[in-house]
């Protein structure tokens, strides 16, 4: 009989199940930390995530449909979060000249201040990661990027602005080298990006 990763007899015999269980614990830590930070500012976790995203991304990504894809949510649910942020005077909308239903979302000064402060919610996770040996960090980055790429390709998660699915990326099997054709330079494993401003989606067959 097929057993799940949370079946302890399977988990204790298979390293991949223990890794999955460990990733689940880390996702719980993210949820707890984000929740604590949200409570401080009387916001919901998704409202905090949206503020942080808006503070770091260019205007073409600061639209409802892009945000809905980014956060794997429906447009109405995302619109509700934006409405709540507008009522709290943390964002403002700039309507497009040629389409009065479409708008770009900007942070207000107050919204930017909160985004800057709350973006430190993950510090408790960065600390133990920063204490790993450099080669373990490198292996971890590569492994996580591979898992994320797989989940993206199989449709579990949407948009991923990372090297592995960027049109400018190539990998030489022979030399085991990563290369960015936009920056026109080889990329060391430690330079592979997970959220690149220059990312362009590769063509999907």
Residue 163 binding ligand SF4, by CB under 6 A: yes
Residue 117 binding ligand SF4, by CB under 6 A: no
Number of shown-chain residues binding ligand SF4 (CB under 6 A): 11
Give 53 or 121: the residue with its C-beta nearer to ligand SF4.
Answer: 53
Minimum Å gap between C-beta 181 and ligand SF4 is 7
Considering only residues 183, 184, 190, 205, which one is a binding residue for ligand SF4 as defined by CB under 6 A? 183
Residue 85 exposure: Cα atoms within 13 Å on the Cβ side = 31
Span of 33-41, 82-90, 148-156, 178-186 interacting with ligand SF4 by CB under 6 A: 178-186
Give 61 or 85: the residue with its C-beta nearer to ligand SF4.
Answer: 61
Give 106 or 193: the residue with its C-beta nearer to ligand SF4.
Answer: 193
86, 57, 147, 25: CA torsion to nearest 10:
-40
Give 24 or 198: the residue with its C-beta nearer to ligand SF4.
Answer: 198
Give 20 or 196: the residue with its C-beta nearer to ligand SF4.
Answer: 196
Span of 22-30, 117-125, 127-135, 196-204 interacting with ligand SF4 by CB under 6 A: 196-204
32, 36, 37, 43: CA torsion to nearest 10:
100
Q: Give the Cα separation of 110 and 88 in Å (integer).
A: 9
Considering only residues 182, 188, 202, 205, which one is a binding residue for ligand SF4 as defined by CB under 6 A? 182
Edge-to-edge strand ranges of the sheet holding 169-172: 169-172, 177-180, 185-187
Q: Give the Cα separation of 144 and 194 in Å (integer).
A: 10
54, 72, 122, 38: CA torsion to nearest 10:
70
Name all contacts of 36-41 with Cβ < 8 Å and 24+ positions apart.
Answer: 36/121, 37/118, 37/121, 38/118, 40/118, 41/114, 41/118
Q: Give the Cα separation of 119 and 55 in Å (integer).
A: 10
Minimum Å gap between C-beta 199 and ligand SF4 is 4
Minimum Å gap between C-beta 170 and ligand SF4 is 8
Q: Which residues pair with 180 in a beta bridge?
A: 169, 185
Residue 166 binding ligand SF4, by CB under 6 A: yes
Binding site for ligand SF4 (CB under 6 A): 163, 166, 168-169, 180, 182-183, 193, 196, 198-199
């Amino acid at each position: 009989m097929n057993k799940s990763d949370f079946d302890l007899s399977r988990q204790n015999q298979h390293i991949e199940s223990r890794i999955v269980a460990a990733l689940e614990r880390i996702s719980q830590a993210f949820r707890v930390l984000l929740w604590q930070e949200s409570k401080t500012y009387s916001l919901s976790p998704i409202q905090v995530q949206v503020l942080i995203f808006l503070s770091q991304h260019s205007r073409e990504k600061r639209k409802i449909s892009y945000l809905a894809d980014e956060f794997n949510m429906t447009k109405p649910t995302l619109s509700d979060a934006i409405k709540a942020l507008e009522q709290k005077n943390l964002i403002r909308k700039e309507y497009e000249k040629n389409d009065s239903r479409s708008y770009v979302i900007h942070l207000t000064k107050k919204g930017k201040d909160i985004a800057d402060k709350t973006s430190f919610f993950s510090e408790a996770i960065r600390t133990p990661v920063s204490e790993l040996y450099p080669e373990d960090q490198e292996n971890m980055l590569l492994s996580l990027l591979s898992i994320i790429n797989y989940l993206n390709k199989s449709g579990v998660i949407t948009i991923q602005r990372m090297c592995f699915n960027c049109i400018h990326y190539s990998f030489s099997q022979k030399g085991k080298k990563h290369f960015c054709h936009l920056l026109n330079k080889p990329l060391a494993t430690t330079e592979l990006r997970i959220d690149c401003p220059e990312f362009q989606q590769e063509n999907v067959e």
